[in-house]
Amino acid sequence: MTATEDPLARFAEVFARAAANAPFDHTAATLGTATPTGSPSLRTVLVRGVDAAGFSFFTNYESRKGRELEVNPAAALCFYWPWIDEQVLVEGRVTPLGPEESDAYFAGRPRGSQLGAWASQQSRPLGSRGELESRWRETERRFAGRDVPRPPYWGGFRLTPSRMEFWTAGEYRLHDRELYSRSAGGRWSVTRLYP
């Protein structure tokens, strides 16, 4: 299957172009989730793995996105790289990564970020910045002189795509848009869309 037939192979080519001389983190993408009643929310995440199985990112499972994905696993990612005038939209279902994958990723994070995962009650109300910094220092003392384990409420998700749209800017706003849709049997079809 060629890159023009396989959207994940095509994504790898675009992702490599975006990485070359990137002025910003090219792994950043907007993640869209929704409540069971369809109320949407967006935030930026860093996509830490892309392979034939899908797109992986990590978070606190008790955060707003974690809670929404638990009850409604439909999600979307939008990558936009203005320095190459391209964007990719990915839609599909999300599943939690296994503990081994989450442990491996967490172990490779900077120690300060590991401590931050323990200190932050992500998406919950916070009285003051001082309260957060105090929790971080307390966590630093708690794990002084030893490795920081992954919190049980922190880990990864994988978005398995069912639709992927590639957008390339064109003169006079005559952009190129190609939509890849996966059938129930797993085969991809491609449709060109009006800009």
Rounded Cα distance, 47 and 160, in Å: 13
Rounded Cα distance, 16 and 26, in Å: 9
Concerning whether 173 is annotated as a catalytic residue, the answer is: yes
Catalytic member of 173, 177, 187, 192: 173
* Active site residue ranges: 173
